[in-house]
Structure 1
Amino acid sequence: MQQESPLSESGSTPQDAQYENAASKITRKSHRKSRAGCTNCKMRRIKCDELKPHCTNCERRQVQCSFASERSKSDRAIYNTRADVSELDLSQIELTYHWTTTTSRSLSAWWSGAAVWQSLLHDIALGHTHVLHLMFALTALQLASCRADRRKYYITLADRHYEAALSNVTHAMANIDKDNSDAVLVSVQLICFVNWAKGPREGEYLAFGTQGRSDWLIMFRGVRTTSEASKQHTSKDVSDARVPQSRPLSSLCEPTGWESQLTELHEHVFAISAPTEKREDTRALDILRECFTSRYHGEDSEYHVVFAWLYKMSDNFLDRMQQHDPIPLIIFAHFVVLMQEMEQFWYMKDWTKHCMSGIHDALGKEHRPWIKWPMAKIGWIPP
């Protein structure tokens, strides 16, 4: 009788069957269920291998796979992103670079003050576009002053950024709070710089105008109004930018004879001022003397020291100057001597003699002898 093989099916035992079932469970491959198949495979309820851009089932059946359309959308998105990136505003890149390397450094006589302008405005401008526009406007004007072949282009660019900033600044000034006070204060200062940088204009003499009130003075007085309104909100960094650390000017810069001249002028003003204006006029001279002293003998010679005189003048005093009252005009002529040192800055070029000419023309002949000293100190001779 032929013996059956122990490996044959007929020769297997119940115990062998148990071993085979256990081995089958151990060796069976597990698989991950996925819901990411293509649309066609989902509709046919068959397994999709999820190959892209065409799964195997769609490729075999020669039908459009949904993965292919998804790839097309992705390609279009990438193309659009590349198009946006390629459309850079090169003028703004140029202005940002020039602001950082040059313009910001021209807003202070000393390195410490320039460094504050350089870093502070970037921090503020990124959150307040009107500050950024004013930075660009001022920078474009500086480029216009040193690149004659493209002067018209840069002036147009400056005007565009300046106009873009004004409406937002006006709104912000009317709604000062802790979130925008730093930006508003820096903005009104930059507006003053921009108006200087536009250069002297007929009828505009900073403290007064012959065709209505001085536009620059309105902006400058806005600095005081904004400072007072935002005092409780303004950060220390912005205060430091407004009043940076500095040092006194060299004695070589000091105009000779200013102390005796102001003393003599004080006596003259006290003698001819109307009783109702005497106190106001002598106060204006006292503050002017303080400005001269701070400028040449104090610890600070920054531009804000020079313009502290205008900053502190009463509205009535400035109104009288606008009306060509001789006493305010004569005192202003002596203030112009302080301004001359600021012509080291590109944005103050030609303003000193321009203002003196406006004062001379506004004064009657009987009062012009009192501005001979300031005229001589700045080297201006009437035409």
Structure 2
Amino acid sequence: MALAAMHLAYIKPEQEAFYIGQADFHHDIALEMGTSELQNITKENASSIYLFSLLICIISCARSRRSDNFWEVSDRIIEWLNLSRGTVSILCSDTQSKFLGEGPLAPLFILGYRKSLAWEARPAYNPQFLVDLRQVLEETVQDPSELQCYRESIENLGKSFATISEIGSQSCETTDVFMWLVRSHDHYLYLFHQRKPEALVIFGFFCVIIRELDWTWWMQGMGSHLLQGIYIHLGEEHRCWLHWPMQQLGLVPPCY
């Protein structure tokens, strides 16, 4: 019901406020019901809980994207990610995986698992824009653990860019795009929450990958929205680090 209301808000912008209110009402009820089931996953409800986490993602991304609510949008995505991580960690146990593998969502679950293995197996991909990003971080970040976190995030970005390049934009699915976010280390997400400029810049490069989902109504324009929000938040020194992603999304930064 919440997802349907969000879709109506999208196709009937003149009634957006009403439908978003309806979406919030149903979303809050579902969230309370769904999260209470996370500690009691059975063969009967495993598929429902898995779908629950996916719908939470879609609803979070579908909400309005005004220029003044960048952090509201980005924090919702991270909140969804934290919820999904909790769900996935439970479902990935041997018993719960068997439930999904034998249930009605088995084809979806198996496809996602195969995509994950393919993503992990891809060799290092080092286009010049990632080489440049890595170099500037090596020269500026002093904390060793923080720097290592950024190195891993950039390496994973390379895998995701290689994935998009290999399968092509026309065949790109949500799993291909969100793989980087799902595989991001908890430390990186913490740094993003702390508004660390370097973490924000790395996320800015991920926004180029997000653009591959502009064909969906609920992700349309999300990459540009998030990148613009990051650019506005950063100081002059770090804004210039975003030149490549800004250029790719047609948002020419006024610093050279």
Fold match (TM-score > 0.5): yes
Matched AA of 2:47: D
Distance in 1 between residues matched to 2:72 and 2:179, nearest whole Å = 14
In structure 1, the gaps of 5 or more residues are 1-135, 209-213, 248-257
Runs of 4+ off more than 6 Å? none
- Number of positions where the alignment pairs a residue of Structure 1 with one of Structure 2: 233
User: Does the 8 Å contact 2:38/2:49 carry over to 1?
Assistant: yes
In structure 1, give the amino acid aligned to 2:133. Answer: L
Q: Gaps spanning 5+ residues in structure 2: where?
A: 116-125
Distance 2:38 2:72 in 1: 22
Identity level (%): 27
Q: Aligned partners of 2:73, 2:157: CA distance in 1, in Å?
A: 14
Structure 1 residues 151 and 271, CA gap change in structure 2 (3 angstroms) = closer
State the Cα RMSD in Å.
2.7
Aligned residue for 1:346, secondary structure, equals: coil
Structure 1 residues 1-383: aligned runs within 5 Å: 136-148=1-13, 150-200=15-65, 202-205=68-71, 208=74, 214-231=75-92, 232-233=95-96, 234-236=99-101, 237-238=104-105, 240-241=107-108, 244=111, 259-273=127-141, 274-298=143-167, 301-381=172-252
Structure-2 change in CA distance of 1:189 and 1:203 (3 Å): same
Q: Distance in 1 between matches of 2:79 and 2:106?
A: 21
Query: Is the CA contact (8 Å cut-off) linking 1:205 and 1:354 kept in structure 2?
Result: no
Q: CA deviation at 1:381?
A: 4.4
Shift in Å, 1:358? 1.7
Q: Which amino acid aligns with 2:10?
A: S
Specify whether residues 207 and 316 from structure 1 end up closer, same or farther in structure 2 by C-alpha distance, changes over 3 A only. Answer: farther
Q: What is the identity, as a one-letter code, of the residue corresponding to 1:270?
A: E
Distance 1:288 1:261, change over 3 A: same
CA contact (8 A) 1:199 1:351 kept: no
8 A Cα contact 1:287 1:309, kept in partner: yes
Question: Which residue identity is paired with 2:107?
Answer: D
* Counterpart amino acid of residue 278 in structure 1: L
Q: 1:143 to 1:378 in 2, by over 3 A?
A: same
Counterpart Cα distance in 2 of 1:351 and 1:289: 21
Larger radius of gyration: 1
Measured after TM superposition, the shift of residue 329 of structure 1 is 1.1
Cα distance, 1:382 vs structure 2: 5.9
Instruction: Provide closer, same or farther for how the CA distance between residues 203 and 151 of structure 1 changes in structure 2, counting only shifts above 3 A.
Output: closer
TM-score w.r.t. structure 1 length?
0.55
CA displacement 1:145-170 (0-9 Å, x = unmatched):
11345544433332332222111011
Give the whole-Å Cα distance in 1 for the aligned partners of 2:229 and 2:253: 11
Deviation at 1:215, TM superposition (A): 2.6
Q: 1:344 to 1:142 in 2, by over 3 A?
A: same
More helix by share: 2
Matches of 1:243 and 1:265, distance apart in 2: 34
Structure scoring higher RCO (CA < 8 A, sep ≥ 6) equals 2
User: Shift of the alpha carbon at 1:194?
Assistant: 0.7
Relative distance call for 1:150 and 1:279 in structure 2 (3 A) is closer
Q: Name the aligned partner's letter for residue 108 of structure 2.
A: A
